[in-house]
Structure 1
Amino acid sequence: MNKDELRRCMIARRNSQNNKDIEKKSQTIISNLSKLSVYKYSKFIFVYVSFRSEVITKGFIMNAIKDGKRIAVPLTLAEKKIIQPCEIRSLNELAPGTWGILEPKKGNYKVVDSSQIDLAIVPGLAFDYSFNRLGYGAGYYDRFLPSMNSLAIKIGICYDFQLIDSLPAEKYDIPMDVIITEKRLLFRDPNKISLRK
């Protein structure tokens, strides 16, 4: 199966879940994420705003803000094929943007230096046991992730069926440090990150 076929397969499988399953799995994934020491000690978190059948992140964003974290979410600049991290203090600062995804409202956002981010929560259509990620194919995260501090922790969150044995990897692909599903947590370097507070 090539990348495009795998993308179509994963989107179809993800969309076949009912809302109750999506919510339950998302709650488990976010609970596991919130127990990581890297979350406890992080100061500035970049996190995608969930769309359609993706792992739900809106509750995580609200709780992280309550916990005193600085939060940045992606603003898509489709004409340049890039995303910019924009700091928000409330979900009320978001409105439907590119492709209907919630983004910081036009003319009312604060772009931040991506090197300040110490934790990134990254979406994907599939991940593998070598911590590679398969995105939607436009390369937005391939361009964004290298702009972050090299010490920033990158966490891929997905449903367990999106974790597969192997993905075709390119030289420019940035591996994740952690992958979290509703059934497991995988650490690329177990000595670097602990689970509990």
Structure 2
Amino acid sequence: MLSQTSNIKRALRAELRERRRNRTSTERDAATDAFTANLVALTQQSGARLVACYLSAQNEPNTRPYLNWAFANGVRTLFPITREDGLLDWAHGDGETEEVGLFGMPEPVGELLGPIAINDADLIIVPAAAVDASGMRLGWGRGYFDKTLGSMQKCPPVYAVIYDDELLDTVPREVHDQPVNGVVTPTRVVTF
């Protein structure tokens, strides 16, 4: 039986997914340039040399231009690989070759590193459906990043990439949900 919070989350995710689908290609292209500039600024300000970042799916904020910048500027990257057991493996990837992972998400082709590879990251960039003013992240419902972040002994700064209208006053929260340290939107980088 689903809790009331789970039902509220599911309804909110559906609304946010629909909103993303309805963005025009012009809006998405302009946002991509702005996301990239803000992600580059965050990486430079943090001095990160190894960044864990997701490969964006079709309706997510596009991380690829940022990843191209990282590759060109000697910032190493780790990409998540979903596993059946709910954990994430990690791979460096070559920045070009991708395949479709377990849940239809893009994943890199490269040597599989275990779940603890994330412990070497200086900065973690995660996807989100929304984030609230306290830093609570609403993911897309599979719990991979919550499990990963919740299991880390020493977690580096974690930033979610969202559109400006996805920074909400509050999001529904369950015990396993993990907060983020900040968000990157097209117009700004917010640190909580």
Identify the TM-score tier after normalising by the shorter chain.
Answer: 0.7 to 0.9
Deviations 1:119-172 (A, max 9, x none): 011100111100111011111111111344524010111111111110122333
Question: What do you get for the CA RMSD once the two structures are aligned?
Answer: 1.9
Deviations 1:70-120 (A, max 9, x none): 11111111x2122212112x2223222223322123xx4231522101101
Deviations 1:18-48 (A, max 9, x none): 1221121121122012112655511110001
Q: Which has the higher mean CA deviation after the structures are superposed, 5-14 or 148-157?
A: 148-157
Kept in 2: contact 1:154–1:177 (CA 8 A): yes
- Aligned amino acid, residue 30 of structure 2: K
Q: Indicate the residue corresponding to 1:4 in structure 2.
A: 10
1:80 pairs, out of 82, 85, 97, with 85
Q: Indicate the residue corresponding to 1:136 in structure 2.
A: 140
Note if 1:111 corresponds to 2:117.
no
Quickly say closer, same or farther: Cα 1:33–1:136, change in 2 above 3 A: same
- Aligned amino acid, residue 95 of structure 2: L
- Aligned amino acid, residue 133 of structure 1: R
Q: Which runs of 4+ in 1 moved over 3 A?
A: 37-40
Note if 1:94 corresponds to 2:83.
no
Q: Which has the higher mean CA deviation after the structures are superposed, 11-20 or 29-38?
A: 29-38
Residues 41-52 of structure 1 mapped to structure 2, 5 A cutoff = 41-52=47-58
SS at match of 1:3: helix
Gaps of 5+ in 2: 1-6
Note if 1:59 corresponds to 2:68.
no
1:127 pairs, out of 131, 153, 161, with 131
2:26 pairs, out of 7, 20, 34, with 20
Gaps of 5+ in 1: 189-197
Aligned residue pairs total 184
Kept in 1: contact 2:78–2:118 (CA 8 A): no
- Aligned amino acid, residue 86 of structure 2: K
Q: Indicate the residue corresponding to 1:191 in structure 2.
A: none
Percent identical pairs in the alignment equals: 27
Kept in 2: contact 1:114–1:149 (CA 8 A): no
